[in-house]
Amino acid sequence: VPKKIAVIPGDGIGREVIPAAVSMLRRAAPGALEFTEFDWGAERYLRGGLAMPAGGIETLGRDFDAILLGAVGDPRVPSNAHAAEILLGIRFKLDLFANVRPVKPLHDRLCPLKNLAASDIDFVVVRENTEGPYAGVGGNFKRDTANEVAIELDLNTRHGVERVMRYAFELARARRGCLLMADKSNAMPHGHGLWQRTFAAVRSEYPEVAAEHMYIDALAYQLVRDPRAFDVIVTNNLFGDIITDLAAALQGGLGMAASANLHPGRTGMFEPVHGSAPAIAGRNQANPIGAILSGALMLGDLGFAAAARRVEAAVQRALEENHVTADIGGTLGTIECAGWIEAGIETSADEQEHATEKN
Ligand code: NAD
Ligand code: IPM
Ligand code: MN
C-alpha cells in the first residue's frame, strides 16, 4: 500500500520548489508514495477568507502518512494570519514538538567559513516546536495609544521541555554522543530556569552522552567562529528559528536547508527552512534543493532509507558538477536544476541495482 502524502505547496517559491520535490520523490521511490495536493495558502485566503477548510489539519493527521509543505507567506497578507493558521496550525494541532534541522554542507564551496571543509560541519538542531512565544499567549492593552502595552508570553511547560530534550538526547546517542543545550537562563530565570532544571534531570539518564550548555548568544558566536564540535543542539522555539537561518548560511544558504517537524509515531511534516521568498517568486530562480532534501528526510522517516540516500547522492552530484541555481553559484533555473538532479537519481538507482546483482 503506497504511503499517503499531503502536499501543500503554499505561497511564492513554495509553488516552484514543491512540484520539483514531488517529481523527485516519484522517481526515487516509484509506486511507494501517493500524493494529494492541497491549495492552502494566500490565494485561497484572499479569495474566501479561509486558508483551509474547517478541520483540514485534523484530516491531514488522520488520513495521511506525511505532509510536504513549501512555504507560506505573502506580502498581500501583511498580518501573516493565513501562514500562522497553516504552518503553526499544523505544528501545534498535530503536536509536532521536534523541529529537526540538519546542518551539513554538501560541498566544500558551500561552506563560507575560512579554512573549513564541508566535512567539518555536521550537526542537527532540534528546535522545540509547540511552545515559547509562538504559543500566541499575550495581548495588547490600550492599543494604538501612547500608553499601549504589548505582551507576548514565553510559554514553557515541563512536559514540553522534557520531551524535546529527551528526543535530542536520543538523537545524540544515535549520532556522535554530544549534546548542547542553549537557553538564556541568565536573563530569563523563570522560563529558562525550567530548561536548566529539566536538562539536569534528563542528562542524568544519559551518562553516555557528553552534555554541555551554552547561552544562546555564545552559541551564535561559536556557530560562526568554529562550529566543528557541534553534534546535536537543542533549544527553544524562537532561538531555534534564529540559529537555523544562521546555520543555513553555513551550508550554502537558505536554499539548501531542510527540516522535519516530528512527533514520533504520528504524521510528520517536512519543509525547507526557507520562506516564500516573494522577491524571486515566479521567476524560476529558487533553489529547489532545500525542498528536495526535505523530501529525502521524509523518505527516511517513512522507512525508505535507500531511496533517501539516492536523492542525497544525486544532489551531491549536481553540486559537484555545478548543475545548480544562482544562489549557490550555478546558472540553472529551478526547473533545470531539479530536472538534472532527478535524472541523476535514475543513474544512481541503476548503479545500486547493478551492485546488488553483482553481490
Ligand atoms: P525567505 O526565506 O523567504 O527569504 C530570505 C532570503 O533568502 C531572500 O533573499 C530569499 O530570496 C532567499 N531565499 C530563500 N529561499 C531561497 C531559495 N530556495 N533559493 C534562493 N534563494 C532563497 O525569508 P523572508 O524573506 O524573511 O520571508 C518571506 C515570507 O516567507 C514571509 O512571509 C515569511 O513569514 C515567510 N516564511 C515562511 C516560512 C515557512 O512557511 N516555513 C519560513 C520562513 C519565512
Ligand atoms: C520557520 C519560519 C516560521 C517560524 C515563520 C514563518 C512563522 O521562520 O519555519 O523557520 O518562525 O517557525
Ligand atoms: Mn525561520
Instruction: Verify whether residue 167 is a known catalytic residue.
Output: no
pLDDT over 60 (residue 349): no
Could you give the count of Cα atoms lying within 13 Å of 72 in the half-sphere of its Cβ?
A: 28
List the catalytic residue out of 11, 241, 301, 327: 241
Can you say how many angstroms the Cα of residue 177 is from the centroid of all Cα atoms in its chain? 22
Is the CB of 299 inside a 6 Å radius of any atom of ligand 1? no
Cα first-last separation, the chain:
29
CA 86 to ligand 1: nearest atom:
40
All cell numbers assigned to 29: 521511490
Average pLDDT, the chain: 95
**Secondary structure (3-state) at 232:** strand
Please pick, among 184, 206, 301, 327, the residue that the annotation labels catalytic: 184
137-193, pLDDT tens digit by residue?
999 999 999 999 999 999 999 999 999 999 999 999 999 999 999 999 999 999 999
Look at residue 21 in the predicted model and tell me its pLDDT: 98
Cell 526547473: give the residue. Answer: 335
pLDDT, position 351: 47
214 in Cβ contact with 182 (< 8 Å)? yes
Distance from C-alpha of 267 to C-alpha of 272, rounded to nearest angstrom: 17
- 65 with 5: CB under 8 angstroms? yes
Among protein residues, the one with the nearest Cα to ligand 1's atom 7 is: 254
Query: Is there a contact between 228 and 208 (Cβ–Cβ < 8 Å)?
Result: no
Mutate to test the pocket of ligand 2, among 87, 88, 129 (most ligand atoms within 8 A of CB): 87
Instruction: Specify whether the CB–CB gap between 67 and 267 falls below 8 A.
Output: yes
Write out pLDDT tens, residues 124-147: 999 999 999 999 999 999 999 999
- Euclidean distance between CA atoms 306 and 29, whole angstroms: 9
The three cell numbers locating residue 129: 516546536
Predicted pLDDT at 285: 98
Q: Is 217 a catalytic residue?
A: yes
Q: How many whole angstroms from 69 Cα to the centroid of ligand 2? A: 12
pLDDT for the residue 359: 33
- Residue-wise pLDDT tens digits, 23-65: 999 999 999 999 999 999 999 999 988 899 999 999 999 999 9
pLDDT for position 346: 63
Ligand 2 site, residue 128, Cβ cutoff 6 A: no
Q: Is the pLDDT of residue 305 over 50?
A: yes
Of the candidates 45, 134, 167, 206, the residue annotated as catalytic is 134
Residue-level pLDDT at 35: 98
| pLDDT at residue 50 in the model | 87
Known catalytic residue: 206?
no
Q: Say whether pLDDT at 353 is over 60.
A: no
**For position 355, what pLDDT does the model report?**
41
Q: How far apart are CA 147 and CA 163, in angstroms?
A: 40
State whether the beta carbon of 241 lies less than 6 angstroms from ligand 2. yes
Q: What is the dihedral of CA 211, 214, 218, 220, to 10 degrees?
A: 60
Q: Are 16 and 284 in contact (CB under 8 A)?
A: yes
In this predicted structure, what is the pLDDT of residue 49?
Answer: 82
Its pTM stands at 0.96
Shortest-distance atom of ligand 1 to CA 245: 2
Nearest to 333 by CA among 16, 11, 27: 16
Active site residue 134: yes
Question: How far is ligand 3, taken at its centre, from the CA of residue 141, in Å?
Answer: 28
Q: Is the pLDDT of residue 358 over 80?
A: no
Q: For residue 357, what pLDDT is reported?
A: 37
In short, whether 194's Cβ falls inside 6 Å of ligand 1 is no
Tell me if residue 245 is catalytic.
yes
Minimum CA distance residue for ligand 1 atom 26: 275
Angle formed at CA 129 by CA 159 and CA 50, multiple of 5 degrees = 120
